[in-house]
Amino acid sequence: PHLGAALKGMGYHNTRVTSLSVELDDAKWQQYRSFFGTDSWLRYGDLNYGGAHYGWGPAPPDQFVLSAANEALQSEGENPLFFFMITQNSHYPWQEVPPLVEEWRTLNDGSQINPQSNLQTPDVTVKLDDYMNGIAYELKILTRFILEEVDPDAVVILAGDHQPGYITRREDGYQTPLHIISRDKKLLDSLLPYGFETGLSLDQPQTRMKHEGFYSLFMRALIDRYGRGDRLTPPYLPDGIELDNK
């Protein structure tokens, strides 16, 4: 099982949000929902957004999507929540960064209700500065969201899924950052033996970890810290689980 499915089996409400304005048909969405085992999936049409759109998709500002989804999910029930989202405004083509506003609802200003999709043919000159502006924007909105809107007991995972194409070279490597944010010092301390460092700084040698190893590590940390009853702490599998495709 993956992280969302495992937590769902422990009583969590498993949900995702996709903000791309290009919508798949219902049959395709059902395939995705079945694969990820979600209890709910907020799509672009569920966001009721009519403001400006940006970048790949195009998509609404991530600041709006995060807060709107968080507000909508408060009515999903009393179960703990597992919420997954892919940020869009730091994605290629990095043409324009949305404004960072004090009140996220003001972004829904009716200025562009039916955007023209640029998902297939973005016309752009790629520049590293534009990419860095996108990353800076994401870090600012995520910081504000975590400090001001997220449940104080939440555990937040920030993961880079791949290096940005058109900017990085093969010799730059394929490493991406991984951060776990929590107010629970005991949980964070339990991650230190695996090579995690305190803070977001990258000014020191970093421990490398495979993406496929994170699932077992994180479930091990969660169950060891919060597990109840007779649950056994699972082993850490740094190379993931080898699947039998026969």
Over residues 163-203, the pLDDT tens digits come to 888 888 888 888 888 999 999 999 999 999 998 988 877 67
Residue 122 in contact with residue 65, Cβ under 8 Å? Answer: no
Longest dimension (CA), the chain: 57
Query: pTM for the complete prediction?
Result: 0.90
What type of residue sits at position 195?
G
Least confident window among 40-44, 62-66, 109-113, 193-197? 109-113
Tell me the three state secondary structure of residue 206.
Answer: coil
**Is the pLDDT at 246 greater than 60, yes or no?**
no
Question: What phi, psi does 13 have (nearest 5°)?
Answer: -85, 120
Give, rounded to a whole angstrom, the gap between the first and last alpha carbons of the chain.
Answer: 18
What does the pLDDT read at residue 77?
Answer: 76
The predicted model gives 38-56 an average pLDDT of 92
The predicted model gives 197-217 an average pLDDT of 82
Q: Which residue has the tokens 């850490």?
A: 236
Q: What is the residue-averaged pLDDT of the chain?
A: 88
Q: Are strands 178-181 and 156-159 parallel, antiparallel or unpaired?
A: antiparallel
Q: What is the pLDDT of residues 112-129, one digit of tens each?
A: 876 766 666 666 677 889
Q: What is the pLDDT of residues 227-245, one digit of tens each?
A: 887 778 889 999 998 877 6
Rounded to whole angstroms, the Cα distance separating 204 from 154 reads 27
The predicted model gives 48-59 an average pLDDT of 90
What does the pLDDT read at residue 105?
Answer: 96
Q: What percent of the chain has pLDDT over 90?
A: 54
What does the pLDDT read at residue 51?
Answer: 94
Q: How many residues does the chain have?
A: 246
**Is the pLDDT at 73 greater than 60, yes or no?**
yes
Confidence of residue 68 (pLDDT cuts 50, 70, 90): very high
Rounded to whole angstroms, the Cα distance separating 40 from 219 reads 22
